[in-house]
Amino acid sequence: NKIGRLAPATNTITEWDISVNGSDISHLSVGFAGEVYFAESNANKIGRLAPATNTITEWDIPTNGSGVADIVFDVSSGNVYFAESNANKIGRLSPMTGTFTEWPTDGTVKKMDVDPSGDVYYVNGRGTIIRMD
C-alpha cells in the first residue's frame, strides 16, 4: 500500500505509505499542484496525497462496494471523476467541499477521461461504446 514517485532528473524514488491496509490502490491521477488522487478499491475510498506536506486525505465513496476502476482529475474544475465498476456509475468528488455526485450508466465503465471543457468520456465494459456525459 504505497504510492511512489520517480524523479528521473535526480534519479530518486520516493514512496508514501497509505494508511488503510489492503486498500488495493489501483488507479491514480495528478492534480493542479502535484497532489495525487488515488482509488482505494477494496477500502471504497478516494484518497489524495499532497507530496509537499506528506499529507494524505481520504473520502468514503457513498456507494458501498463501488469497485473503483479508473480515476481522472478535471483541470477545468478541480473535480475528480471515477468509474464505479461494481455499481455501474460514474462518480465525482469535489475535493474542496468533500461532496460526491454519482450518475448511473448502462454498463460497467472501465476507462474514462475528461476533455478541457469538462466533458467526461468513457468506455463501457465491452469496450464497444464511447459516450459523453
The pLDDT value given to residue 130: 56
**108: pLDDT confidence band, cut at 50, 70 and 90?**
confident
Instruction: For 34-91, write each residue's pLDDT tens digit.
Output: 999 999 888 899 999 999 999 999 999 999 999 898 999 999 999 999 999 999 999 9
**21: pLDDT confidence band, cut at 50, 70 and 90?**
low
Whether 112 contacts 74, CB under 8 Å: no
Closest CA to 131 of 91, 111, 77: 111
d(CA 49, CA 37): 6
Question: Listing from the earlier edge strand, what are the strands of the sheet with 55-60?
Answer: 25-30, 36-40, 45-50, 55-60
All cell numbers assigned to 43:
477500502
**10: pLDDT confidence band, cut at 50, 70 and 90?**
very high
131 has a pLDDT exceeding 60: no
Q: For the whole model, what pTM was predicted?
A: 0.87
